[in-house]
Amino acid sequence: MAKIREEKGLHIMVQSFRSPGHGELARIGVAVCHGFTGSPVSMQSWSESLAEAGFAVNMPLLAGHGTSWQDLAKTPWEDWYRDFEAAYLELAARCDSVYVVGMSMGGALSLRVAALHPVAGVAVVNPGLTFGDPKAKYAGLLKYVLKSVPAIGNDMKLQGVSEGAYTRTPVAAVHQLSQLFSNTIELLPRVTAPTLVFRSTVDHVVPDSSIEVLKERIGSSELRIVPLENSYHVATMDNDAPLIFSQSADFFRRTL
């Protein structure tokens, strides 16, 4: 699926990504998930890096994304999960082992897949499980009087790049996101696969409470948190991206 969105006068290609893999790693799959209001643009370089290394990769464009925030406002969280789970299942049908990878909301979706399926491992960047803005808890009521709020996208220390996120955040979708977070938190004890977390020391989107909840509730006996000193929230497009790409690939090879 490929779509073109216009952002600040620029045409941004928003598309899913798939690679069959090659060499000895072709039987190892990695399902990749982008974040809330964002697009596969934020995870494109990571996906390409994994594909170049030989892994089979499947990164979908989630429902309600890549078009308009009005579309996202009408999309239940179950549809986001359905799309990412389908990417995982496609890989599981042809690979010996499958890892799940996600950023922000994509991290929550990755953890939920890991709770419900036998994944080989989890690698997430600034995974979202809680909100920093206390008003988010009232999104279920606010959505009836407030359609959207300013965008949360493009939180990067590196200048001159864009993740292709929406220019507005629909409040109805924030309500759906809160339901996804609650559901995923309940399932965290069922996540037993090795888990690698990349965490920016400065993140203006996902609060530290998300990481604390993850550490308290995850069922995995192998949880490693790698600090990112030179990136903000969208670290996959920021200064620490090469570190994320190399350490995640090493993690996958080591846990095979």
Phi-psi region of 46 (alpha: psi -120 to 50; beta: other; left: phi over 0): alpha
The answer to whether 102 and 125 have CB atoms below 8 angstroms apart is: yes
Candidate list 104, 110, 178, 200, residue with the active-site label: 104
- Residue 104 annotated among the catalytic residues of the structure: yes
Residue 225's beta-bridge partner residues?
A: 197
Other Cβ atoms closer than 10 A to 4: 10
- Residue 11 annotated among the catalytic residues of the structure: no
- Residue 22 annotated among the catalytic residues of the structure: no
Candidate list 83, 155, 203, 240, residue with the active-site label: 203
Helix (H, G, I), strand (E, B) or coil at 197: strand
Candidate list 233, 238, 240, 248, residue with the active-site label: 233
Helix axes 171-187, 105-116, angle to 10 degrees: 40
The answer to whether 109 and 180 have CB atoms below 8 angstroms apart is: yes
- Encoding tokens for residue 25? 């790693």
The secondary element (H helix, E strand) that includes residue 15 is: strand 10-15
Catalytic residues: 104, 203, 233
